[in-house]
Structure formats: C-alpha cells, structure tokens
C-alpha cells in the first residue's frame, strides 16, 4: 500500500506501546517505567467519552503520527461543545509527508460530527515553520491568546 493511502484512525487497545514509542519524540518524553499504572491510565482514557487518540500507521502497523482530540461539553454557544487538540507528533523519519495534517483533518471531522463550534490547538513550539504548519491546517494565532500555568506534581 502506498504511503499516500495511510488513513488516520482511533487508537486501539493494542496500540499503547507504539504510542509510547512515538511520544519519546514529543519533548523527549521517556517511556514510563511504571507500565502497570500506564496501562490502567490507558484503559481509563479509552473509556472516557469524548477522548480520541488519533493515529496514523504504516502497513506494518508502526504508528508514525498522532494527535489527541478531546470534545468538551459546554453551556455557552447554544450548548455546543468545543474541541481541544494536543500532542500532535510525527515520527522524525516520517515528517514532511502530510501525516500529521491527516491526523488534524480527522480531529476536525470528529469535532464537526460532534457539533463543536470551535477547535483549539496549543503548541509549545516557537518555530515559525511549525506555526505555519498549523495555520496551513486551518488554525489561526490571531483570534485568541493562550496561557499556560504549569502545576507542580
């Protein structure tokens, strides 16, 4: 199957190890040592309504791109929910092929299907090429101002 045919899908239970491997390329995130705790968290995440971990795999099953889309219930805007996108990552050997864009398109389809009135994305990157990538995917950096407050464990 040509690479162009790789289709994003919702992560399956068996995808945890592939996701953790991919996440090592997201802010140098190490594979967790307490796998029993991680497996329990993974079960809870998958069971949570509105939580979607989107993956794109090679025909061999390697996860090469991913993002998370969370649908958040809302009491404003006609009680329409909104969507949050986080943890957008592509394996370094597979970058610049449109894979992350396909994951973001899938997230947008989910948000539309759930009648969301907006979809938001935060990035920690300051690289202009990354910011342009998100703008090319339909996001803008002019309408809202994002703030982050880091919490101590």
Nearest to 126 by CA among 107, 98, 146: 146
| pLDDT confidence band for 6 (50 / 70 / 90) | confident
Query: What pLDDT is stored for residue 4 in this prediction?
Result: 55
72: left (phi over 0), alpha (psi -120 to 50) or beta: beta
Mean pLDDT along residues 111-138: 95
pLDDT of residue 2 exceeding 50, the answer is no
CATH of domain 3-136: 3.40.630.30
DSSP the chain: --GGG---EEPPGGGHHHHHHHHTTSTTPPPPS-HHHHHHHHHHHHHSTTEEEEEEE-TT--EEEEEEEEEE--SSGGG--EEEEEEEEE-GGGTTSSHHHHHHHHHHHHHHHTT-S-EEE------HHHHHHHHHTT--SSS----------
Q: Is the pTM of this model over 0.85?
A: yes
Start-to-end C-alpha separation, the chain: 45
* Res. 25: pLDDT tops 70: yes
Determine the average pLDDT of the residues in 43-64: 96
Looking at residue 27, its pLDDT comes to 85
pLDDT in tens, 82-124: 999 999 999 999 999 999 999 999 999 999 999 999 999 999 8
């Amino acid at each position: 199957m040509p690479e162009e045919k790789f289709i994003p899908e919702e992560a399956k239970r068996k995808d945890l190890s592939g996701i953790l491997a991919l996440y090592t390329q997201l802010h140098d995130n190490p594979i967790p040592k307490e796998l029993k705790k991680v497996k329990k968290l993974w079960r809870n995440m998958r069971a949570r309504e509105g939580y979607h971990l989107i993956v794109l795999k090679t025909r061999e099953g390697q996860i090469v791109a991913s993002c998370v889309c969370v649908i958040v219930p809302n009491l404003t805007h006609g009680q329409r929910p909104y969507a949050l996108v986080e943890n957008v990552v592509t394996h370094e050997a597979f970058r610049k092929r449109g894979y992350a864009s396909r994951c973001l398109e899938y997230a947008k389809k989910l948000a539309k299907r759930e009648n969301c009135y907006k979809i938001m994305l935060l990035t920690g990157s300051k690289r202009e090429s990354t910011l342009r990538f998100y703008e090319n995917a339909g996001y803008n950096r002019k309408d809202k101002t994002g703030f982050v407050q880091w919490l101590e464990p």
